[in-house]
Amino acid sequence: MRRTCRPILAAMVLSMSIAPAAHAAKAPTGYQAASAALQWTELQRLDRQFWPTLPQFNTGLQPGSTAQANVAVSYLYVGKDRKRQGASVDSTIVVYADARAARRGYAEARKVADAGGTTVTGPKVPAAQYRYFTRDAEGFAVRTLRWRVGRVIGRITAVDAPSHPWSSAELARLFRDVAPRAAKLSAGRLRGPDAQTRERQAEVLPAAGLAPGREIGTIALPPEAWASQDSTGHPRAALRELVGSRVFGIDQRNWLVDDHPGVTVSVVWFGFARPMEAAGFVEDFVAETGKQGLDAGDTGPTAGFRNANGFYELQFAAGAQVGDVACWAPFETKPPKACERVVRDLAEGWYAQLSAP
């Protein structure tokens, strides 16, 4: 069963760069930006058939932007209705240095990212600026609420089958949960992860000396976030396998790669109850990779490395832990040649760290 941290399609994600002004407010962490986005528990009140994917911290992909942080959180439909396969609910958060810059960002998003949308009516929401619009895309009905709160802009977009269109009222209901967190984020008062999560991530994620570039996001994940992207089309089976392997923790961190604009590296750490469960998890990946895989380097006896159309991914087992390292350039037309070396070097250093007594 294939389990891979494939990136979200570029068309679904806004991308901005880190370029804070001289007197900019303190830039938020990727975790804080993700915490302000739509949460899974909030979406479940409307539809329980959507699972979270791995969030995308796509900061740094559009030169000239004054955004300080950007995150896209998506939830994929995992129900049995074939007409709805491919449906998603997406929530983005983009933070600027001040409200003036955010107004410019909002105007630019309306002009570029939202181009072609038809404005529709909807309930009033607690935002300084907002707009509802619809569009049709590849057999799906798309409805979006674009909004700005202080120095934060974002959107909630529902992509679903024409037989199951989302209403403006449903998006407004979801945004009422997002709005107070966006206000706190704008004011610099939104809290980061708890102390226990920070301590675990500091211990198990790659040490600072291994970082391939600027960190743009770290977050703890539920197992559904991995299982929802199972390429066999059976996310519930993937979840049963993952939970059956007794995974107790999943953490993700993303970086931009120094000297390679637009290239992103992501690591995902899995903590299992026993080494045999960790090894079994990676063996599925190795079996799929087969003899056509790349050299996994010095990452232990249970490891695999592959290049799937420019998406480089290496997975290894280290005791009761699993490391997954991926590299891609979501907005590039050609596969990034640097990714193979970057992934292998990072994976070798991380394997040594996790294997140390």
State the DSSP H helix or E strand holding residue 101, giving kind and residue range, or none if neither.
helix 99-111
When pLDDT is averaged across residues 280-305 and rounded to a whole number, the result is 92
Residue 34 has pLDDT above 80, yes or no: yes
pLDDT digit string, tens, across residues 116-144: 999 999 999 999 999 999 998 888 999 99
Q: Are 347 and 24 in contact (CB under 8 A)?
A: no
In this prediction the pTM is 0.88
pLDDT at position 234: 85
Contacts of 159 (CB under 8 A, 6+ apart): 86, 87, 88, 89, 90, 137, 140, 141, 142
Going by pLDDT thresholds of 50, 70 and 90, the confidence category of residue 25 is: low
Burial of residue 340, with CB atoms counted within 10 A of its CB: 0-12 exposed, 13-18 middle, 19 or more buried:
middle
Distance, in Å, from the CA atom of 318 to the CA atom of 316, rounded to the nearest integer, reads 7
What type of residue sits at position 14?
L
pLDDT digit string, tens, across residues 293-343: 999 999 999 999 999 888 999 999 999 999 999 999 877 767 678 899 999
Burial of residue 54, with CB atoms counted within 10 A of its CB: 0-12 exposed, 13-18 middle, 19 or more buried:
buried
If we measure between CA atoms, which residue out of 241, 195, 250, 253 comes closest to residue 221? Answer: 250
pLDDT at position 229: 85
3-state secondary structure of 222: coil
pLDDT at position 1: 39
Going by pLDDT thresholds of 50, 70 and 90, the confidence category of residue 15 is: very low
